[in-house]
Amino acid sequence: KPKFSEFIPVNNAQVAAKSAFSFLASANTNPESIIVTIKDQPVAVTVTPKNQDFLVTGILPGTLTGNFARISITANGPNQCKGSDGWLVKIIE
């Protein structure tokens, strides 16, 4: 199943709203199946090949301020194996 790594910013980091985030999705990830949500809101991401993996980048919504938000990831791999992961960031004002 798909695996995710190299989360930027790191888990529990303090960041401003509208900050960039990124992570790597493993080579066995179907890039079209990657879905990122923050506080149950879908977030637009850009997926680009990087070595054997996929670099996924996006921007935190500007509406999130003053609390923690989980960046949640789901994606499919071969044979519809589903992978999921995510991490927390604190949105500062």
3-state class of 80 per DSSP?
helix
Q: Is 18 left (phi over 0), alpha (psi -120 to 50) or beta?
A: left
Check whether 93 has a pLDDT greater than 80: no
Rounded to two decimals, what is the model's pTM?
A: 0.93
Q: Is 12 left (phi over 0), alpha (psi -120 to 50) or beta?
A: left
Cβ(69)–Cβ(88) below 8 Å: yes
What is the mean predicted confidence (pLDDT) over 53-63? 95
Per residue in 20-54, pLDDT tens?
999 999 999 999 999 999 988 999 999 999 999 99
Per residue in 63-86, pLDDT tens?
887 789 999 999 999 888 999 999
pLDDT, residue 91, reads 92
Cβ(54)–Cβ(29) below 8 Å: yes
